[in-house]
Structure 1
Amino acid sequence: MPDSTKYPIVTAKTALIATAGIGLLCIFVRQRARILSLLSSYRNPLNKRQITVIDNLDECQRVVDTLKNHCQAYKVLGFDCEWVTVGGTRRPVALLQLSSSKGLCALFRLCNLRQIPQGLRDILEDDNVIKVGVCPQDDAQKLSLDYGVGVASTFDLRFLAALTNQPAAGLAKMAKSVLNVDLEKSWRTACSDWEAPALSEKQLRYAADDALVAVKIFEKLFDKYEQRPFWKLSSTQLVSAQEKLEPFLDMRFKDTFANQLVKMKTSGISKIIPPIGKKAKQKSVQTRSICTRAKALYDNCLLQAPDGDLLCTIDAKKAQWYVAQNLAATVATNPLTVRLNFEPSGRAVGDVGRYYQTPKENRCVVCGRDDALSRKNVVPREYRKYFPVIMKSHTSHDVLLLCTHCHQLSNIYDLRMRMKLAQKCDAPFVKSEKAAKYIELPEIKQVQSAARALLQIKNNIPAERRNKLMEILLNYFQQDEITAEILEEASNLHTTRNNENYCNHGEKVVEMYQNELGGLCVLEKMWRQHFLETMKPKYLPELWSVDHNADRLEIRAKEGRVEKEDLIVAGLDTAKLTETDEDIGKLA
């Protein structure tokens, strides 16, 4: 007879296997969409693309609404642009490609739309939607120059490749290594006519695949970066991506990668990543637009009135200048303190005065870093230089210290603010007819070039080419022959003319706020508030205020040290200030 004691063991094993099977089945049922999507993506994610071409505004809004709906679940879009180059000159972006994780490939024919509609502009400027690709910042810059839109939260896929120990290569190579997809990258298609009346099937696939592959590479690499088990993966959420990838958003891979690695190592954001290439070395980033200071900005030397009352802190060079000019005497050396020998025009009053008396720290006001610092003009100089003199003096309040990374990020945010001001004040900030001070005259330029060629290298020009150049000159001057005098005149022709529609962006914005939009203090406050909201500084100087200049001018008005016209330009209530002055006079 069989041993009956074995049956309970067999039964227990069977129950355990059955339980495990049921558990796996439950996981499959609950995550079947994700699992099937992963299997499909592994085969070829491009097979599920849904290409939609947008030629008109009505169709544009419908597709944008669908993209926004897809972004509710997964806030990432594949992003790319195509354009045409004629005679070495790039024409405005002709095609904008956006692809959602669900496979919708929206191809916006900007050459037909002639603008970026508000709905599309909103999704491009949305900070919460990450636009992924290879070198997406370059395409974003082209859109900014051509259509005045600031593309927010661009992300170069090569950062994520490096974070996951994948080759940080071009889009086609990453498509092969990450997705096992062969991406068609024919130069003939890439350089084809993207402004053609109708795009070919080959062009449509090429454009759509670039955007869709980008978002699929992001999905795969980000899942790997998170290192989560597959049953915890969810295509409906991207909670941690924005936070974890924040240091890389709107950053150029080539210019900032080494700097970001150093920052990540020191701050513990991520694991140490091996350098790219055998001989790759980490080196500090050098940018042409942002120059770091070789010495501290704040020396925190003290400037006193003749009676010893503290007026403000100043730098050592300014303190030494006062002494050298016999305008002050040194009364202490630690800290360096100089005392004026004449009565200043005003004394420190209220929080405005205390701000200038308070010592400042030499560190980034955003992140606290104390090296590689540069000056940041919170109210950009392109606007400030058109302010009246009284609002251009004592502007150190709006000069803050930022590290290179925070400075670059702040400049990106500032671009969006400039675009909004350009639209509000009808003051073009980008390439347009109004933005050019001079208009190039191609016909005159051709005549000038022909004359200079004949003057300088006549003997080295083939006969056929020389005859064509002479023909250009004969047609322009309507002469039977070209003399040496005509050649000299032609070589000195002016090839541009003044643009009567020219509009200086900064000057126009200042003029609009000065005359129609509430005064220059409103413009100042907008820029300061913009800096606070976008950069969220943690280490601002004590008593720094968005109303600083308005408060300073009110104090001056009460002391009778400001003209009424300046108060009007600033947008302050002159009637109230005048009434206050009269009351003070009566009391006196």
Structure 2
Amino acid sequence: MSGQRTAIQTERWAILAAGLGLFYVLVRHRQSVLGLLRRKFLFSGNHLVLHQKRIEVISSVHDSQRILNELKIHCQSFKVLGFDCEWITVGGSRRPVALLQLSSHKGLCALFRLCCMKQIPKDLRELLEDDNVIKVGVAPQDDAKKLSLDYGVGVSNTFDLRFMAVMAGHQAEGLGKLAKTHLNFILDKNWRLACSNWEAPQLEAVQLNYAANDALVAVAIFQKLSRDLEPRNFWDWRPIEFQQLRQKIEPFLDVDFTKGFATGVSKERVLNSASESNPMTAKGKQLKTMPQKKQQCRNLGTQSKVFYDNCLLEAPDGELLCTIDRRKASWYLNQNLGSQISEHPFTVRLNFEPAGRAVGDVGRYYQSPKENQCVVCGRRDAYIRKNVVPREYRKHFPVVMKSHTSHDILLLCPSCHQLSNISDNKIRNRLAVTCNAPFKHKDGMVKYHDDQQLRSIKSAGKALLQKVDRIPEGKVAKMQQTVLDYFTDETVVTEQLLKKAAALNCRVENQDFCQHGKRVVDMYRDKFGGLIELERIWREHFLQTMQPKFLPQLWNVNHNADRLEVRANEGRVDNADLAVAGLDFVVNTGTGENKT
């Protein structure tokens, strides 16, 4: 019995020792073990997107409604879509986007065959333009631009996964390498598939799989990297706090990763966003980032010196009229139109009665000093002037609405300026469709184009003059006939005729030419409620997309309408200008009063 008891005790001590040994190993190498377990669970979790893959091909506007409704339902719980596009190139020229891929976190991938639809369905356009849904991928801005040029749709809130990779302390790689590194999933990147015929009457299974995987993997990578930004224990599978995550990536929405570092979105800013969310990522290990090539970028004309001098301009009786810059104040003095009253603040008092005084909130806006800072984020060291209503439209306004436009000139830092300009494309696209006013890479935007018939005649004339001895006789005869068919009064090809053909001007005026800004202004002036409505669209767009926190006091969406109302009450604007603006005031020229 004693021997048996001793054996049992020995076994227990062995088990205890083994347990202590295992505990020591787990404690000693806890980071490696937890990391291994975490990767295992993450891979299996993110692979759910791929394991539950369901591909839906939509070839007509009629068939799109059901799938779009399902995508919208999925976006209610997780507002992220994988986003990608495919197209073909013919003769060195890119054809319009043939296939649009959108995938949800639940494994649904919708393949929209735009080459068959010839247009973007209304609900699809709304989903692409929805600011609440983030469209993720690698270089998604490039695909968004192609959709904008080809179909006039503004894709809102695209996000390049490489920004998140850098923020989480990983290498900024292409989609294939990101999938292998973070999902242990190998994407088929065979160039024959990438360059296959996406406009074919029927897409093959390998094409559908290739296209769907690109979009599905993008969502899975986003999920994995979002967890890297907020490390948790491997058993902690609470849903991602999407709103907090969005705040971290907000500065990089609609920003081109390859150009971002050259246009104000610095690497430091990306890393700062990472450190705010995950100090260990920023400080605990060296961040691995791809070396950035020196970018060729246009100088945006940033200013570090003050833009607002906030000098004071007074009426003869000392009433404050407005704040102005130092140069304008000096001009009044040099023209003997006023005299200096004070140095601090620099104050000029006019020696003549001005046309109008400061009235109501409009007047108080011009009286109030302005801060030299970005109106969006408050940055003070560098800023660029932003025309809230772009100049391409404002320059076609009547003089009464073009003058005193400082209200719509705000200061933005380079990063916010770039983001604002990118977001403006959505409104331009919408106006282009609404007003039938193409603004870029469209036939209607080209004032002159080459006439291909004239080009062939000119080429034939040059060839017959310069190298006729090297051209086969049969081809020479055809080229001569081409020249004679154009010059119908001639029966014989002479050297003089060939010189005349070689000197032809192939550029002809485009009868469909449309200057985008002018046509939009004309349409709003004549049909869409007046130019006040066009101003309102741009101002509300700026407020919605940029959410400025440091706007000047009394900055108002309806500023110009209020200003014109004041002028109308004072009899300083005529009925024609009010009609163009879209206001229904009628000025009584005899009394200076007005009626509504």
Letter in 2 for 1:387: F
Cα contact 2:571–2:588 (8 A) shared by 1: no
Structure 2 SS opposite 1:329: strand
112, 126, 143: which one pairs with 2:130?
Answer: 126
User: Quick one: distance in 2 between partners of 1:343 and 1:248?
Assistant: 51
Secondary structure in 1 matching 2:159: strand
| Matched AA of 2:355 | S
CA distance in 1: counterparts of 2:472 and 2:143, whole angstroms: 38
Q: Distance in 2 between matches of 1:516 and 1:174?
A: 51
Residue 367 in 1 paired to residue 377 in 2? yes
Tell me, in whole angstroms, the C-alpha distance in 2 between the residues paired with 1:295 and 1:269: 30
In the TM superposition, what is the alpha-carbon distance from 1:395 to its structure 2 partner?
A: 0.6
> Kindly tell me: are residues 39 and 213 of structure 1, through their superposed partners in 2, closer, same or farther at Cα, counting changes over 3 Å?
closer
Could you tell me which residue of structure 1 aligns to residue 543 of structure 2?
A: 532
Contact kept, 8 Å, 2:385 with 2:412, in 1: the verdict is yes
| Cα 1:226/1:558, change in 2 over 3 Å | same
Q: Who is 2:267 aligned against?
A: 261
Cα–Cα, structure 1 residues 314 and 383, in superposed 2: closer, same or farther, change >3 Å?
Answer: same
Tell me if the contact between 1:44 and 1:179 (Cα under 8 Å) persists in the aligned partners. Answer: no
Aligned to 1:376: 386
Partner of residue 163 from structure 2, selected from 159, 163, 167:
159
Specify the code of the residue in structure 1 equivalent to 2:268.
Answer: V
Alpha-carbon offset, residue 248 of structure 1:
1.3
- Give the Å deviation of 1:298: 1.0
Structure 2: how far apart are the matches of 1:584 and 1:508? 31
The answer (yes or no) to whether the contact 1:61–1:119 under 8 Å persists in 2 is: yes
Equivalent residue number for residue 30 of structure 1: none
In the alignment, which of 335, 344, 350 is matched to residue 325 of structure 1?
A: 335
Distance 1:324 1:313 in 2: 18
**Conservation of the 8 A alpha-carbon contact between 1:41 and 1:179:** no
Aligned partner of 2:562 in structure 1 is: 551
Which letter does structure 2 place at the counterpart of 1:108?
Answer: F
Q: Provide the residue aligned with 2:426 in structure 1.
A: 416
Describe the shift of the 1:450–1:41 C-alpha distance in structure 2 as closer, same or farther (beyond 3 A): farther
Instruction: State the secondary structure of the residue aligned to 1:545.
Output: coil
SS at match of 1:538: coil
Q: Does 1:405 align with 2:415?
A: yes
AA aligned to 1:311 is: L
Q: Is the 8 A contact 1:144 1:150 kept in 2?
A: yes
Q: Is the 8 A contact 1:153 1:249 kept in 2?
A: yes
Identical counterparts, % of pairs: 54
Q: Matched residue of 1:79: which SS?
A: strand
Measured in 2, the distance between the counterparts of 1:559 and 1:429 equals 39
Aligned to 1:463: 470
Q: CA deviation at 1:105?
A: 2.1
Say if 2:60 and 2:117, in contact at 8 Å, map to a contact too.
yes
Cα offset for 1:491?
3.8
Residues 1:560 and 2:571 are matched in the alignment: yes
Question: Would the aligned equivalents of 1:329 and 1:338 in 2 still touch at CA under 8 Å?
Answer: yes
Task: Determine if the alignment matches structure 1 residue 314 to structure 2 residue 324.
Answer: yes
Residues 569 and 593 of structure 2 are in contact (CA less than 8 Å); yes or no, is this contact kept in structure 1?
A: no
Q: Report the CA distance between 1:563 and its aligned residue.
A: 1.2
Is the contact between residue 427 and residue 504 of structure 1 (CA under 8 Å) also seen in structure 2? yes
Map 1:239-388 onto structure 2 (within 5 A): 239-257=243-261, 259-263=265-269, 269-270=276-277, 271=279, 272=282, 274=286, 276=288, 287-288=297-298, 290-293=300-303, 295-388=305-398
User: Residue 148 of structure 2: which of 116, 140, 144 is its match?
Assistant: 144
Matched, 1:216 2:220: yes
Decide which of 490, 504, 508 is 1:493's aligned counterpart. Answer: 504
2:22 corresponding residue in structure 1:
none
CA-atom RMSD in angstroms? 3.5
Q: 2:524 aligns with which of 504, 513, 519?
A: 513
Please list the CA deviations of residues 63-82 of structure 1 after superposition, one character each: whole Å capped at 9, or x if unmatched: 21222222223222111111
Contact 1:148 1:429 (8 Å CA) reproduced: no
CA contact 1:128–1:242 (8 Å) conserved in 2: no
Match of residue 534, structure 2, among 520, 523, 546: 523
Distance verdict in 2 for CA 1:523–1:111, change over 3 Å: same
Question: TM-score normalized by structure 1?
Answer: 0.84
TM-score (norm 2): 0.83
What is the Cα deviation at residue 451 of structure 1?
A: 5.0
Tell me if the contact between 1:174 and 1:217 (Cα under 8 Å) persists in the aligned partners. Answer: yes
SS of structure 2 residue aligned to 1:108: strand
Uncovered stretches (5+) of structure 1, i.e. residues with no partner: 18-33
Other-structure match for 2:482: 475
> Displacement, 1:384?
1.0
CA distance in 2 between partners of 1:470 and 1:311 (Å): 80
Deviation at 1:481, TM superposition (A): 7.3
Distance 1:41 1:266 in 2: 29
Opposite residue 552 of structure 1, the aligned amino acid is R
Partner of 1:26: none
- Shift in Å, 1:186: 1.9
> Are the structure 2 counterparts of residues 466 and 211 from structure 1 closer, same or farther at C-alpha, using a change threshold of 3 Å?
farther
CA distance in 2, matches of 1:266, 1:35: 26
Q: Deviations over 1:428-453 (max 9, x none)?
A: 34544444433443333344456567
Q: How far apart are 1:286 and its partner, in Å?
A: 7.7
Given the alignment of the two structures, is residue 171 of structure 1 paired with residue 178 of structure 2, yes or no?
A: no
* Equivalent in 60, 66, 75 of residue 56 of structure 1: 60
**Which string of whole-angstrom CA distances, capped at 9 and with x for unpartnered residues, describes residues 173-199 of structure 1?**
222222222222122222222112122
The residue aligned with 1:92 is 96
Matches of 2:473 and 2:460 in 1, distance apart?
9
1:77 paired with 2:81, answer: yes
Change (3 A) 1:292 1:64: same
